[in-house]
Structure 1
Amino acid sequence: MSSHLSADRPAAQPPGRGSVDALISQTRRLKGDMDAVRQDTRPDGSDPQDRWQRALYDLALHQLNDLDEHLAQLRDGPPPVPAASTSPEPESAVRAVPPVPRRGSLLSRVGSAEWNLLTDEASWSSELYQILGRDPAAPPLTLDELPSLVWDADRPRLTTMVTDCLVDAKPIDGEFRIVRPGGDIRTVHMMGEPVLDPDGSTASMWAVLRDVSELRRSQRTVSETRDSLQRHRHHAQTEHRLAVELQEAVLPPWRGSLRLPHQGPETLDLAAHYLPSTASALIGGDWYDALELADGETLLSVGDLTGHGVAVTSGMATLLGAVRGMAVAGTQPGQLMALLNQLLDATVQPALGSAVCCRYRPETRTLVWAQAGHPAPLLFRDGTGRRLRPPAGVLLGATSGAVYEQAEEALRPGDLLVLHTEGLVPGRWDCRHPSDAENGRGTAANRLLDLAPRLDEARTAQDCVRMVVEEFGEDEREDDACVLVAKVMC
């Protein structure tokens, strides 16, 4: 738009129809493609990223709809001016009345006006009457009367724009809110310029007003959903950091090989590894542990509390602390599992968990163990492996008053025990579907048992863990996993 308009400016000529028609066709094809993608994006309202994406699609469609209508106006040229009126009104006060736009058309959101400063008369297009909610039979408002339609807080802005235009010949380009009859508030964007008479004085002010309420509403929605997405991501990052710090503080600090008990000829060579989920950044409730007890026995345990996040990691820390405390107090594995079940059953936040707990007696090389809905330990001996027969035991927190049996297994020098959690193989087991859990356990156990010849050649527990990680480490896991290896030394 030029900086000034002349009062005797020639009528604008529409561009060639062919080029504009081509642009309209391209715009409508893009609208169709955009709408198809938008229809495929149906957020359920719980994911901030889905809401943000849908808001962007809506905003883009609003803008494409506006572009389509404006190109149509550009193709058709200015609205026709009716024949000269025989009334005594000055020509500048005659309003050009184009056909009434179809109901719901975005064309009704753009109107024009001209205010004659010499006669203090105004000329409005019919679209402007619709935008401002005025009766088409009523006379157009003068510049002095126009602020009566404007939201109180925005009146100074309109006054400044009009004054700058009339006094300093500055173009108008700004927005303000209007209050339509009935209280409906709309946002209007106004662009205008002074119209100069032949001697350079300002004769009138011409403006185009556009209802941008829906566009601004879509932009606000995009902004709000973007902010919500950023807050969600920041919260997730903070929660992940806290969960990692809590997990690192609770799990055994030892790395590499550990031998327990520290005193005595009969020892266990131990190593463990934590494998994070590849499908989620959230930390789960998996744990592994090895602890020398006061009576010379060694505690071995692995477990998994269902879910992810700080609350689950905190719950895992509570369970692991309970396991350690009861084991130090001399509680045997079967009774220990029953007490853990009571602990979960009494928590305010319902939770389910699985675990296996073992006590190794070095003087007799006996393993006493119990399990709660967890994969049984695998025993490797002389190049072959087998799954220990599990004693009865349901998931922790599944039922009140559950009884957990325990079993004993005689070990030999050179034997290798492998304890692991559910998430070691791809796919995530569901506590509500035991068959799925059994399938996952079978897959993990079979793949581990296939490693028997290689594990038999390993000299240390750490070498065995390294082999397991090589076998499972590249798998796409939906859940975290732990593996604990204990080798009976001579």
Structure 2
Amino acid sequence: MIRRSTTLHSLPALRTALRLLAHELRLPADVRSRLALSVARAASGELAAGRAVTLDASAHDPAAPGEPCPLTVRLRAPLAPRPAELPLDDLPLPAERLPDAAVWRLQAPSAGAGTPPGAEPAAGSAPAGPRRIIEQLEEELQDALSRADSLASDLERLKHELGETNSGVLALYVQLEERDEQLRRAHGQMLRELEDALRPHPVRVPGVEMAIHYEPAGTDAPTGGDLYDWFLLPDGTVHITVVDALGHGVTSTRGALNVTHAVRTLALEGHPLQSIVARTDEILLPLDPELMATVLLARLDPATGDLTLANGSHPPPLLMRADGAGQLMEVRGRGIGYPMPGSDGLLHDRLDPGDLLVLYTDGLTESRRDPLEGERRLAHAARRHRHLPIEEIPGALAEDMHSVILHPDDTVALTVRRTAPAPDEEGS
């Protein structure tokens, strides 16, 4: 059994005492170096402050031959005002904190066939003095170098594995990017084809020019319940339908398509314009009882400019004259799925050359929750942009109106402008 108690006043003396103790107990180089670093770090504050520390060590005899010897190393700072505050965090060899000390509990090697810990060295062996301390330092250095070499080897292996992993990830990323680009192109092509199927191109007829701007409420739903239709009737007049079905996305698109198809069929069959909204409701409600949609119908004679409107709960069109005077064209009525659906009457007016007609859905004017303010802003925007090429006007109106959007909605902006007749047409 070994018992040692030493009072020390400097770090070199503390390290020397620890190395002599390690030699006496034959501690492995790794444990020896960790113990020396840990005890020195814990005692450094007290020694730097000029106070002594006490190092106690005790090694008990093993419980049975061949078993390790229990070893306890205790560091005390008897002169410190608060001994329990020795710095013991993150030590190479963790310590147990006691009220008056720091304690390291270790296992010294078994005696085996060699000299037991604490026994006198055999005759002719070197004394445990400076030479042995130097040997211990060399052993610790060799152990540190061996661990450094092992860590360096592990680091190189990890670098190689990381490089291979990065190469694989990069290749996978490139493949995913290529696949994503293919999907984007396919998705874009599908949307273009879908838009072509849902949104007919403007009618080409002398004396009238038309353009359209459509903007869905969100990019995840490229279609919605705001649709339009325009076509030429057998008598040469242009028919325009604007529909806003309740809801968003593909489900509302189906309802809006049903409305535009029913209106086109009734118009081509020659039904009076004022009756078409009510007849559309009669046709569709048995098939889709949940359908609710506002509808605006317009008829324009390209030769004379005569304009007729029917309305089912839809926002009123804006007529902007060539001289900048604007007016909303109000027609009372109720839409598809509303009580007593139908247009209460017809509104008749005339488009002169240079006059601009703006038909739209409420997503254009109600983006700030005030329809009256939206109508005033629309009149101002139409007055400012009325001389632009016709294909630029709807987009310019939408850009002005959507400068501030508090709640997004599907938007249709459709513009019709009467043009001056060609010189040969005037003389005919």
2:209, 2:418 within 8 Å by CA — same for their partners in 1? yes
Cα distance between partner residues in 1 of 2:201 and 2:281: 27
Partner amino acid, structure 2, of 1:397: G
Residue by residue over 1:407-450, the C-alpha shift from the partner in whole angstroms, topping out at 9 and shown as x without a partner, is: 1112212111011111114548xxxxxxx6xx32x233211211
Structure 1: which 5+ runs fail to align?
1-6, 23-74, 77-237, 429-435
Aligned with 1:468 (options 397, 405, 408): 397
Aligned equivalent of 1:259: 204
Q: Does 1:250 align with 2:186?
A: no
The secondary structure found in structure 2 opposite 1:364 is: coil
Distance 1:281 1:452, change over 3 A: closer
Aligned equivalent of 2:246: 306
Partner amino acid, structure 1, of 2:197: A
Cα distance between partner residues in 2 of 1:398 and 1:367: 26
Cα distance between partner residues in 2 of 1:365 and 1:469: 26
Partner amino acid, structure 1, of 2:399: E
Residue by residue over 1:167-210, the C-alpha shift from the partner in whole angstroms, topping out at 9 and shown as x without a partner, is: xxxxxxxxxxxxxxxxxxxxxxxxxxxxxxxxxxxxxxxxxxxx
Partner amino acid, structure 2, of 1:484: L
Query: Larger Cα Rg: Structure 1 or Structure 2?
Result: 2
Cα distance between partner residues in 2 of 1:399 and 1:241: 41
Q: Could you tell me how far 1:10 is from its partner in structure 2? A: 10
Aligned equivalent of 1:481: 411
1:306-385 alignment runs, 5 A limit: 306-385=246-325
Q: Does 1:420 align with 2:350?
A: no
Cα distance between partner residues in 2 of 1:321 and 1:315: 10
1:127-276 alignment runs, 5 A limit: 246-253=194-201, 259-260=204-205, 267-276=207-216
1:243, 1:309 within 8 Å by CA — same for their partners in 2? no
Distance 1:402 1:416, change over 3 A: closer
Residue by residue over 1:133-186, the C-alpha shift from the partner in whole angstroms, topping out at 9 and shown as x without a partner, is: xxxxxxxxxxxxxxxxxxxxxxxxxxxxxxxxxxxxxxxxxxxxxxxxxxxxxx
Could you say what the CA RMSD is over the residues aligned between the two structures, in angstroms?
Answer: 3.9
Distance 1:273 1:456, change over 3 A: closer
Cα distance between partner residues in 2 of 1:341 and 1:244: 30
2:335, 2:342 within 8 Å by CA — same for their partners in 1? no
Residue by residue over 1:103-144, the C-alpha shift from the partner in whole angstroms, topping out at 9 and shown as x without a partner, is: xxxxxxxxxxxxxxxxxxxxxxxxxxxxxxxxxxxxxxxxxx
Cα distance between partner residues in 2 of 1:10 and 1:323: 100
Cα distance between partner residues in 2 of 1:334 and 1:288: 18
Q: Could you tell me how far 1:472 is from its partner in structure 2? A: 3.2
Q: Does 1:444 align with 2:374?
A: yes
TM-score, normalising length from structure 2? 0.50
Q: Could you tell me how far 1:9 is from its partner in structure 2? A: 9.3
Cα distance between partner residues in 2 of 1:387 and 1:10: 104
Distance 1:243 1:305, change over 3 A: farther
2:312, 2:343 within 8 Å by CA — same for their partners in 1? no
Aligned equivalent of 2:327: 387
Aligned with 2:224 (options 261, 284, 287): 284
Aligned equivalent of 1:147: none
Q: Could you tell me how far 1:390 is from its partner in structure 2? A: 1.8
2:334, 2:340 within 8 Å by CA — same for their partners in 1? no
The secondary structure found in structure 2 opposite 1:463 is: helix
Q: Could you tell me how far 1:295 is from its partner in structure 2? A: 0.8
1:355, 1:372 within 8 Å by CA — same for their partners in 2? yes
Aligned equivalent of 1:190: none
Distance 1:399 1:346, change over 3 A: farther
Aligned equivalent of 2:349: 409
Q: Could you tell me how far 1:378 is from its partner in structure 2? A: 0.6
- Return structure 1 stretches of 4+ with deviation > 6 angstroms: 7-11, 238-244
1:272, 1:288 within 8 Å by CA — same for their partners in 2? no
1:426, 1:475 within 8 Å by CA — same for their partners in 2? no
Residue by residue over 1:189-247, the C-alpha shift from the partner in whole angstroms, topping out at 9 and shown as x without a partner, is: xxxxxxxxxxxxxxxxxxxxxxxxxxxxxxxxxxxxxxxxxxxxxxxxx9999887544
The secondary structure found in structure 2 opposite 1:346 is: coil
Cα distance between partner residues in 2 of 1:323 and 1:348: 16
Partner amino acid, structure 1, of 2:317: P
Distance 1:243 1:310, change over 3 A: farther
Residue by residue over 1:449-490, the C-alpha shift from the partner in whole angstroms, topping out at 9 and shown as x without a partner, is: 1124423433x3223224314313554352110111111112
Q: Could you tell me how far 1:359 is from its partner in structure 2? A: 0.8
TM-score, normalising length from structure 1? 0.44
Aligned equivalent of 2:142: none
The secondary structure found in structure 2 opposite 1:249 is: helix
Q: Could you tell me how far 1:391 is from its partner in structure 2? A: 2.0
Q: Could you tell me how far 1:346 is from its partner in structure 2? A: 2.2
1:246, 1:314 within 8 Å by CA — same for their partners in 2? no
